[in-house]
């Protein structure tokens, strides 16, 4: 396991990708649990399985296939992660976020990051879409910040700002596109935990009290790295289940994957609409 990557190592990965595709992506897309099918509509695709890339973390989780899909979507050149690695799989924060660093070196300027999340906000139901207006970096706040270690000055400063982690222009545009297509959306706060155990009812009441609307096990590390490097970020949660605040139901990974089926067409519409307006 590597705790840090040097710029030379990040560039080594970028160089391998350049040698395997003719495309020069400007938009990065990370697809969460059960949402990988969004990549199927990419045109003129080059596929790069994760094991073909040095240092690259591969996901061991069911519902995450592991490859890059690079090609055209609505006239934009996109690099898509069909599946991502998580901290709970045993990777370091540097490994979990390496793909974002590599995207930055490839020339990506906008990152669209999606995830499956549990609803803490009682208004949300499975299948709903929540745009991230902000996050609570629970996993990073307590010492596991992906920027821990030597600062890579080429990307950004030692103490980067997180006051506007999620780009307001991208968010407003996406919301309008969703409205136009009769897709119900919310804007809310996502809290990232390490997982892999789901939350206890008391955990969830705590998370509700501190202002979280949705909970998941990814996204925030990637967003911190993206913002450090100056990318504009759009974050989208597909609500896969109601979090179990009163202890009367149980949450399962199958439930998360099942919700993905209704969420993929909704997210596809939103992402395609946004790309077509860029």
Catalytic positions: 33, 64, 86, 88-89, 116, 217-218, 241, 253
Cβ nearer to ligand HPA, comparing 117 with 132: 117
Q: Tell which positions 159-178 bind ligand HPA, by CB under 6 A.
A: none
Phi-psi region of 83 (alpha: psi -120 to 50; beta: other; left: phi over 0): left
Residue 117 interacts with ligand HPA (CB under 6 A)? Answer: yes
| 20 exposure class (CB count in 10 Å sphere: 0-12, 13-18, 19+) | middle
Q: How far is the CB of 33 from ligand HPA (least distance, A)?
A: 7
| Residue 144: how many other CB atoms lie within 10 Å | 17
Percent helix, strand and coil across the chain, each to the nearest 5: 35, 25, 40
Q: Whole-angstrom distance between the N-terminal and C-terminal Cα of the chain?
A: 38
Q: Which is nearest to 253 in space by CA: 150, 142, 116?
A: 116
For ligand HPA, which residue of 102, 137, 256, 270 counts as binding (CB under 6 A)? 256
Residue 241 interacts with ligand HPA (CB under 6 A)? Answer: yes
Residue 238 interacts with ligand HPA (CB under 6 A)? Answer: no
Q: How far is the CB of 85 from ligand HPA (least distance, A)?
A: 15
Residue 118 interacts with ligand HPA (CB under 6 A)? Answer: yes
Q: Pairing relation of β-strands 129-136 and 185-192?
A: parallel
Cβ nearer to ligand HPA, comparing 64 with 228: 64
Q: How far is the CB of 46 from ligand HPA (least distance, A)?
A: 30
Residue 217 interacts with ligand HPA (CB under 6 A)? Answer: yes
Q: Pairing relation of β-strands 76-82 and 27-31?
A: parallel
Q: How far is the CB of 5 from ligand HPA (least distance, A)?
A: 27
DSSP three-state, residue 6 = coil
Q: How far is the CB of 126 from ligand HPA (least distance, A)?
A: 9
Contact (CB, 8 A) for 185 and 125: no
Q: Which is nearest to 35 in space by CA: 97, 109, 113?
A: 113
The DSSP element (H or E) to which 241 belongs, if any, is: strand 232-242
# chain residues binding ligand HPA, by CB under 6 A: 13
The total number of residues written for the chain in this structure: 278
For ligand HPA, which residue of 41, 144, 145, 251 counts as binding (CB under 6 A)? 251
Residue 216 interacts with ligand HPA (CB under 6 A)? Answer: yes
Q: Which residue has the closest beta carbon to ligand HPA?
A: 118
Cβ nearer to ligand HPA, comparing 116 with 224: 116
x-or-dash string of contact with ligand HPA, 185-214, rule CB under 6 A: -------------xx---------------
Residue 243 interacts with ligand HPA (CB under 6 A)? Answer: yes
Residue 103 interacts with ligand HPA (CB under 6 A)? Answer: no
- How far is 7 from 60, CA to CA, in rounded Å? 26
DSSP three-state, residue 87 = helix
Residues that bind ligand HPA (CB under 6 A): 116-118, 198-199, 215-217, 240-241, 243, 251, 256
């Amino acid at each position: 396991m590597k705790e840090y990557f040097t710029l030379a190592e990040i560039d080594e990965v970028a160089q391998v990708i350049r040698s395997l595709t003719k495309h020069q992506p400007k938009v990065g897309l990370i697809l969460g649990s059960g949402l990988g099918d969004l990549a199927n509509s990419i045109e003129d695709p080059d596929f790069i399985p994760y094991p073909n890339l040095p240092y690259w973390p591969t996901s061991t989780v069911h519902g995450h296939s592991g490859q890059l899909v690079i090609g055209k979507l609505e006239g934009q050149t996109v690099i898509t992660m069909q599946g991502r690695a998580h901290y709970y799989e045993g990777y370091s924060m540097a490994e979990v976020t390496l793909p974002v660093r590599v995207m930055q070196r490839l020339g990506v300027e906008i990152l669209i990051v999606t995830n499956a999340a549990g609803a803490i906000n009682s208004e949300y139901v499975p299948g709903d879409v929540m745009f991230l207006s902000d996050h609570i970096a629970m996993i990073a706040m307590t010492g596991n910040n992906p920027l821990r270690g030597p600062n890579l000055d080429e990307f950004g400063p030692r103490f980067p700002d997180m006051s506007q982690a999620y780009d307001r222009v991208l968010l407003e545009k996406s919301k309008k596109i969703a409205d136009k297509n009769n897709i119900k959306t919310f804007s809310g706060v996502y809290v990232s935990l390490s997982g892999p155990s789901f939350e206890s009812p008391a955990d969830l009441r705590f998370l509700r009290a501190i202002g979280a609307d949705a909970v998941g096990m990814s996204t925030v590390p990637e967003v911190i790295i993206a913002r450090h490097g100056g990318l504009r970020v759009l974050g989208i949660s597909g609500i896969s289940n109601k979090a179990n605040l009163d202890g009367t139901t149980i949450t399962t990974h199958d439930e998360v994957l099942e919700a993905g089926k209704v969420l993929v067409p909704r997210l596809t519409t939103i992402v395609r609409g946004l790309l077509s307006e860029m």
